[in-house]
Amino acid sequence: MCRVTTTIGGATRTVTADRTIDLAHTVAPLRRGSGDPCHRVTPDGAHWHASRMPSGAVTYRLAQAGPCAVAAQAWGPGAAEFLDRLPHMLCLDEDVSGFAPAHPKIAEAHRRFPGLRMLRTGLVFETLVPTVLEQRVHLVSARASWRKLVWQFGEPAPGPVPLRLPLDADTWRHIPSWSYHRANVDPRRSRTIVLAARMAAKLEQAATLDHAAAAHLLRTVPGIGIWTAAEIAQRALGDPDALSIGDYHLSSIIGWTLLGHPIDDDTMIEYLEPLRPHRYRAVRLLEISGQAHKPKFAPRTPLVDHSRI
């Protein structure tokens, strides 16, 4: 399905596919806020990201090289492995032939953004930590905690751009409780991260399982439920059906966007059932097309600073 060309001059690779690749929208979920120390979008539209592959650290640059092509450069000991896995990460093998949404808004979004792919980094624990930080708190607070901890305990990433590497499991496991507290991470979330870090090797096996088995494995960690497992699957496992059930806003957004009124989680699940196994794909299309919305009826709930409690 995809054709791969590897150049001789260094750690570079270009992948092409038989249908369009919308790089920017596909990899956008990797970025945890505009100040993410592990991710940067440069003025030329390239996406830079730092990760820890099983073979070692890597910094990679991805750029659109045509409607159906992505050019990649990579630095560090994990570069070769990353480039080898790139088609898999961008889900160039996915089959969307069965995705035929009946709702006109979803159908229109699919027509406008045919190049949206799911994302399959295969890096389960690396995805888990920032996802746990986002549990039941304002996104702005969670991302501030992520920045603070990565800057404090991380290390420089390889390559020409000043990024930081995500922390490895052993580092997360040994961060003192007071450092989590100072980063505005409450004991419930820090405890979940530490428990997951102890199970990191086992959790990475989720990338080799079918989606149902992977979700079950992730939820064996105390503190990880259906929402967290879905958010991990959306980024690390390429699951097009990983619906974020339990999200504070999602059911209301789906209700207002598709029905013109708010709905609860149970109604959302029932309404989106015909879209299986592409429910998350449908949500993502509504997001990137700018159609996803809900009215604002009340003031924003206040931010909680756990570091002062």
Residue 3 backbone class (left: φ over 0; alpha: ψ -120 to 50; beta: rest):
beta
Which one, of 128, 154, 146, 119, lies nearest residue 235 by Cα? 119
Run of H or E including 177: helix 177-182
Q: Which residue has the higher pLDDT, 1 or 306?
A: 306
pLDDT for the residue 1: 44
Reported confidence tier of residue 215, pLDDT bands at 50, 70, 90: very high
Q: How many residues does the chain have?
A: 309
Secondary-structure percent of the chain, ordered helix, strand, coil, rounded to 5: 45, 15, 40
Residue with tokens 């890096």: 123
Can you state the angle between helices 250-258 and 279-288, rounded to 10 degrees?
70
Burial class of residue 191 in the structure, from the number of CB atoms within 10 Å of its CB (0-12 exposed, 13-18 middle, 19+ buried): middle
Task: Please determine whether the domains at 2-97 and 124-237 fall in the same fold group of CATH.
Answer: no
The C-alpha atoms of residue 168 and residue 278 are separated, in whole angstroms, by: 32
Instruction: Look at the domain 2-97 and name its fold.
Output: TATA-Binding Protein (3.30.310)
Domain ranges of the chain: 2-97, 124-237
Model confidence over 62-118: pLDDT tens digits? 999 999 999 999 999 999 999 999 999 999 999 999 999 999 999 999 999 999 999
pLDDT over threshold 60, residue 156: yes
CB contact at 8 A, 244 and 227: yes
Mean pLDDT of 285-304: 81
Claim: this prediction has a pTM higher than 0.75:
yes
Instruction: Look at the domain 124-237 and name its fold.
Output: Endonuclease III; domain 1 (1.10.340)
* Share above pLDDT 90 across residues of the chain, in percent, rounded to a whole number: 92
Peptide bond before residue 277 is cis, with ω within 30 degrees of 0: yes
Phi and psi at residue 279, to the nearest 5°: -65, -45
CB contact at 8 A, 121 and 236: yes
How many CB atoms lie under 10 A from the CB of residue 54?
Answer: 9
The C-alpha atoms of residue 177 and residue 187 are separated, in whole angstroms, by: 8
Which one, of 24, 189, 43, 53, lies nearest residue 116 by Cα? 24
Query: In angstroms, what CA-CA distances link 67 with 7, 47, 64?
Result: 20, 16, 7
What one-letter code names the amino acid at 239?
Answer: D
Reported confidence tier of residue 296, pLDDT bands at 50, 70, 90: confident
Mean pLDDT of 15-22: 97
First vs last C-alpha separation in the chain? 54
How many CB atoms lie under 10 A from the CB of residue 273?
Answer: 9
Burial class of residue 226 in the structure, from the number of CB atoms within 10 Å of its CB (0-12 exposed, 13-18 middle, 19+ buried): middle
Q: Which two tokens stand for residue 192?
A: 């979940």
How many CB atoms lie under 10 A from the CB of residue 209?
Answer: 14
pLDDT over threshold 60, residue 6: no
Model confidence over 20-77: pLDDT tens digits? 999 999 999 999 999 999 999 999 999 999 999 999 999 999 999 999 999 999 999 9
Q: Name residue 119's beta-bridge partners.
A: none
Reported confidence tier of residue 245, pLDDT bands at 50, 70, 90: very high
What one-letter code names the amino acid at 120?
Answer: R
Q: How many CA atoms lie within 13 A of 173 on its CB side?
A: 11
pLDDT over threshold 50, residue 5: no
pLDDT over threshold 90, residue 239: yes
The pairing of strands 39-41 and 12-17 is: unpaired
Reported confidence tier of residue 299, pLDDT bands at 50, 70, 90: low
